[in-house]
Structure 1
Amino acid sequence: MILADFRPSPNFDERPAGATVDVIVIHNISLPPGEFGGPHIEELFQNRLHPGAHPYFAGIAALKVSAHFLIRRDGEVIQFVDTDQRAWHAGVSSWNGRERVNDFSIGIEMEGTDDRPFEDAQYAALNALLAKLRERYGPVPLTGHSQIAPGRKTDPGPSFDWGRLG
């Protein structure tokens, strides 16, 4: 199911037979860390991030990661993986006693950091996207990356206002 400007990532595969979307995971990302805008998130998800473009990139350029969606600071929504496919966003994770959260989740990256407020346009875009996803998949619960990978991940962080989601 394609819901936004589609810029395909090679980092996906089939969900396991019989898997359904049972949770939506909210993340945050900025590349380089703390900087917004630019092509680097898209480059990372499409395996085009140049390790020499910034010192931080040398340690992450070889990662094979993706998310279903990215919501930019201005509210632009970019889709990298079809929602019926498994994106590689959760890593080692568990939710409600189930391992391998990528198998049964949709990953949404918010361009941001743990410690800076997100933009009104991002919350508006996220709520619109969640409404479309719920039309397709029903009343799917939301969680943060920090909840499915505690001790390993902190996003979307304390600056993310869960109360603004519909």
Structure 2
Amino acid sequence: MPAERIEPPVPSQWQGGWLQAARACPSPNFGPRPAGAIIDLVVIHSISLPPGHYGGPEVEQLFTNRLDWTAHPYFEQIRGMEVSAHFFIRRDGELMQFVDADARAWHAGLSCWRGRNQCNDDSIGIELEGLEGERFEAAQYATLAQLCARLGERYPIAHIAGHEHIAPGRKQDPGPGFDWAELHTRLGWSAECFPEDTIFSPPTQG
């Protein structure tokens, strides 16, 4: 009888709450989640520093408290801000991770979704390099869909929303240039996971 074949172990996608496919850049801006928190929400944001400028180190510097506030006039408006997101996706699709996904990042602020306040407590924050109202790149949608799929394998993700949905009137990102239908198609998740009407509305020109 031939010897039974033993398949090699499949490498884990995760090391704790750190996704191995992402470039780790740990931020000091995080804390513990409340006891019993159920991580079932993904919040999508957009960011660029200075606004509309892409490819530089400024977002990474902001999330790690290393931004030179004197480097650009706009930075005076956000001087001293201590924020973070779990993940950041650059225009070319590069994925960076700043906070352990098991921990609470500081991305949502005053917010409410699916009947719960303080969305930082039980969400994963993903920043896309971009400007609210403008289009995003195909490489970003590809990385975002892959990331959401990996998150869905580790956490009971049941909802995806934009910052504009969880903080209406206060935030406008990712804005009308974000193609929710594209993300829905790539993920193949139920329409019930998404904010109402978003997956049927084409993005605006930008």
State the TM-score, normalizing by the size of structure 1.
0.97
CA distance in 1, matches of 2:55, 2:155: 31
Q: Indicate if the aligned counterparts of 2:24 and 2:96 stay in contact, CA closer than 8 A.
A: yes
Say if 1:47 and 1:61, in contact at 8 Å, map to a contact too: no
Does 2:163 align with 1:145? yes
The answer for the alignment partner of 1:124 in structure 2 is 142
| Paired residue secondary structure (2:91) | coil
* Offset of residue 111 of structure 1: 0.3
Structure 2 counterpart of 1:61: 79
Report the residue type matching 1:2 in the other structure.
Answer: W
Q: Specify which of 21, 34, 54 is matched with residue 39 of structure 2.
A: 21
Please list, as runs of the form range in 1=range in 2, the aligned pairs for 1:54-93 lying within 5 A after superposition: 54-93=72-111
Post-superposition offset of 1:114? 1.6
Query: Distance between the aligned counterparts of 2:157 and 2:34, measured in 1?
Result: 21
Alpha-carbon displacement from aligned partner over 1:17-40 (angstroms, at most 9, x marks no partner) = 111102100000000001111000
Deviation of 1:60 after TM superposition, in Å, equals: 1.0
Please say if residues 71 and 109 of structure 1, whose CA atoms lie closer than 8 Å, have aligned partners that are also in contact.
yes
Between Structure 1 and Structure 2, whose CA radius of gyration is higher? 2
Which residue number in structure 1 is paired with residue 18 of structure 2?
2
Structure 1 counterpart of 2:153:
135
Q: C-alpha deviations, 1:85-138, integer Å up to 9, x for none?
A: 000000111112211100000000000012221000000000110110001013
Aligned-pair CA distance for 1:139:
4.0
Q: Is the 8 A contact 2:164 2:173 kept in 1?
A: yes
Bigger relative contact order, structure 1 or 2, given CA contacts below 8 A and separation 6+?
1
Distance in 1 (CA, whole Å) between partners of 2:74 and 2:59 is 13
Quote the RMSD (CA, aligned, Å).
Answer: 0.8
SS at match of 1:9: coil
TM (norm. structure 2) is 0.79
Aligned to 2:131, the other structure's residue is in SS state coil
Unaligned runs of 5+ in 1: none
Q: Structure 1 stretch 84-93 or stretch 54-63: which is displaced more?
A: 54-63
Q: Report how many aligned residue pairs link the two structures.
A: 166
Residue 99, structure 1, aligned to residue 124, structure 2: no
SS of alignment partner, residue 42 of structure 2: strand
Partner secondary structure for residue 50 of structure 1: coil
* Segments of 4+ moved more than 4 angstroms: none
Unaligned runs of 5+ in 2: 1-16, 188-206
Percent identity at matched positions?
61
Structure 1 residues 43-96: Cα deviation after superposition (integer angstroms, max 9, x where no partner): 000011111000011121311100000000000000000100000000111112
Which deviates the most, 103-112 or 89-98?
A: 89-98
| Structure 1 position 163 matched with structure 2 position 160 | no
